[in-house]
Amino acid sequence: MKKQIIVTGGAGFIGSNLIEALNKRGENHILIVDDLGIDDKWCNLVGLNYADYMEKNDFRSRLHNNSLEKADTVFHLGACSSTTERNAAFLADNNYRFSCELCEWCLRRNTRFIYASSAATYGDGSEGCSDDIGKITRLKPLNMYGYSKHMFDLWALKQGLLDKIAGIKYFNVYGPREAHKGDMRSMIHKAFCQIRETGKVCLFKSHRPDYRDGEQLRDFLYVRDAVTVTMFFADNRNINGIFNCGSGKKRTWLDLASAVFTAMRREPQIEFIDMPEVLREKYQYDTEADVSRLRKAGYTAQFASLEQGVLDYIEYLQAGGQ
C-alpha cells in the first residue's frame, strides 16, 4: 500500500507545482488540503493526479480529533501570503497556530514535516539574509505576514525541533500556476500582462537615496527550482533545520523587466511610478539568499538564471498557461 503524502496549499502556486513533480515520480496517493474560495485557484488542480481533496477547516477539525490517516510526509505550504493583509489575528492563527498543530501531529506519528517559511522574515535586510540558526532571534520582519512566519520559526527553535523538521525560506518565487494570486503574483506575470496590454512596464520609484529607480534588488527564484529544493528535503530525511531557498544572486527590477521584454521580443519601455505610501516603510530594498548552508547540506543542482527562468515562463504564458 502506498504511503500517503499530504500537501497543504496544494492548489496554490508552489504546492501545485510540487504535486506535478510528485506525479512525475509516480506519486499519486496525495491528500491536497487548501481553501479554494471563489477565485480561480481550482484551475491549478486540473491535470494533477491525487487521491483526495479536503478544505483546510475540515482538515484542521480532523487534525484535532485524530481522525486523519497517517501520512509518510507532510509538505506544509498552505498559508495566507498577502504582505498587505491587516488582520493580524487571522495571520497568527492561520500561519502560526495551525503550523504548530500540524507539526506536533507529524512528530507524534514520525511523519516527515517540511514547511514553508519565507524570506519576508528577514525584514529590511539589515541583519543580512543568512539562515544561520543563531541569527533567527535578531530578525525583524516588516509586515505581519513575515512575522507570522517568523513566529513559527521561533517556536520551532524554542521547542528544540529544528533537528527534527525542515523549514524552507523561499525568496521571490515566480513561474507557472501563480495567476490566481492576483496582486500578490510575481512582477514577471504582471509585466507580461502590462506589456501585452500597453506595451510598457510600470516599476516603483525608489524612495531611498542610496537606490536609483528600478535598481532595488531581489533574489528571484524560478518555481521549478523551488520545487527541486523542496523535494531534496523529502528525499533526505536526516537533513533538518531552516534553509534559504533562493538563487543566491540578487538582480534589479530593471534586469527583470529587460528579461521579460527580451523574452517577448519587444523593445523596453519602462515607466516609474510612486510606491504607495502604505508600502514605503515595509519595502525590502535588497535581498539575496545565502545558500551556503543548503550547499553544505548536499544540494548540488544549479539554479536557473533570471533570463533562463523568465524565457521559459514567458513561453509558457504565451502558450496559454496561467
State the catalytic residues.
145, 181
Q: For residue 320, count other CB atoms closer than 10 A to its CB.
A: 6
Q: Which amino acid is at 19?
A: I
Q: CA 169, CA 309: separation in Å to the nearest integer?
A: 19
In the structure, how many helices (H) and strands (E) does the chain have?
11, 13
Q: Using DSSP bridges, classify how beta strands 52-55 and 220-222 pair: parallel, antiparallel or unpaired.
A: unpaired
Q: Could you tell me which of 219, 223, 221, 141 has the C-alpha nearest to residue 175? A: 223
Q: CA 287, CA 188: separation in Å to the nearest integer?
A: 17
Q: Using DSSP bridges, classify how beta strands 217-218 and 251-252 pair: parallel, antiparallel or unpaired.
A: antiparallel
Q: For residue 59, count other CB atoms closer than 10 A to its CB.
A: 22
Give one word for 87, left, alpha or beta, with left for phi > 0 and alpha for psi -120 to 50.
beta
User: b/e string for 135-145 if b means 16 or more Cβ within 10 A?
Assistant: ebeebebbbbb
Q: Which residue has the cell 504548530?
A: 100
Q: Residue 315 is inside which H or E element, if any? A: helix 306-318
Q: Could you tell me which of 153, 150, 151 has the C-alpha nearest to residue 166? A: 153
User: b/e string for 226-244 if b means 16 or more Cβ within 10 A?
Assistant: bbbbbbbbbeeeeebbbbb
